Amino acid sequence: EPEVTQTPSHQVTQMGQEVILRCVPISNHLYFYWYRQILGQKVEFLVSFYNNEISEKSEIFDDQFSVERPDGSNFTLKIRSTKLEDSAMYFCASLPGAAGNTIYFGEGSWLTVV
Amino acid sequence: GQQVMQIPQYQHVQEGEDFTTYCNSSTTLSNIQWYKQRPGGHPVFLIQLVKSGEVKKQKRLTFQFGEAKKNSSLHITATQTTDVGTYFCAGRSDYKLSFGAGTTVTVRA
């Protein structure tokens, strides 16, 4: 079964450093998402991406965050200058496009900022 | 914006008992999805409900979507230790999925 893949599975970074989290969505999907889950908390929406541009973003997704789909297969989340509170599990997800379809999640990238 | 509320936050259940978790949205949903997350794992898709009043069953799990498509419930019968985890509902409106806070289930044998 097709799946969303994410790398790295775990990254430790120093505060202030830039981090890029990578995702390969399912190939024929049209909508792409990043979600975040701080340890012990709920899954929070960060951003959705469609037709090579951001379609919606949450309050969490400030100027420190950016997304890109550089080559038609990868979908990246960049955090420019990480803060301690950015420590979380980051989930990538993709959706085929129709209203009744399921959103598929990757297994997540665990980011620890020290 | 759309908000999805889920209760209870925690559910401690005696093995063999039943329990229900409830989900309410501030807006009408196009569909609702349920996920289960084991400790240290990622959310795993359980089911999607699309139609008003829809009821679906997966073995001991019964999922219901309200008539107004703004609420949903998950009922688990005869709880087992394998049911441990956090159950999230996620309401879909347009192409965005908003998660509830989850119900964390622990089971005492």
Residues in A touching B31 (Cβ below 8 Å): 99-100
- List A residues 84-103 in contact with B (Cβ-Cβ < 8 A): 89, 91, 93, 95, 99-100, 102-103
Stated length of chain B: 109
Q: How far is B19 from chain A (nearest CA, A)?
A: 21
pLDDT at residue B55 tops 90: yes
Q: How confident is the model at residue B77 (pLDDT cuts 50, 70, 90)?
A: very high
Instruction: Check: CB of residue A112 under 8 Å from CB of residue A21.
Output: no
pLDDT at residue B3 tops 90: no
Q: How far is A12 from chain B (nearest CA, A)?
A: 17
Mean pLDDT of chain A: 92
Cβ distance A104 to B45 less than 8 Å, yes or no, reads: yes
pLDDT at residue A14 tops 80: yes
Residue among B45, B48, B88 minimizing CB distance to A43: B88
Task: Provide, rounded to the nearest whole percent, the portion of chain A with pLDDT above 70.
Answer: 97
Distance between CA atoms of residues A105 and A108, nearest Å: 8
Going by their DSSP bridges, the two strands A43-50 and A31-37 should be labelled as antiparallel
Residue among B42, B94, B100 minimizing CB distance to A105: B42
Q: Which residue of A has its CA nearest to B1?
A: A58
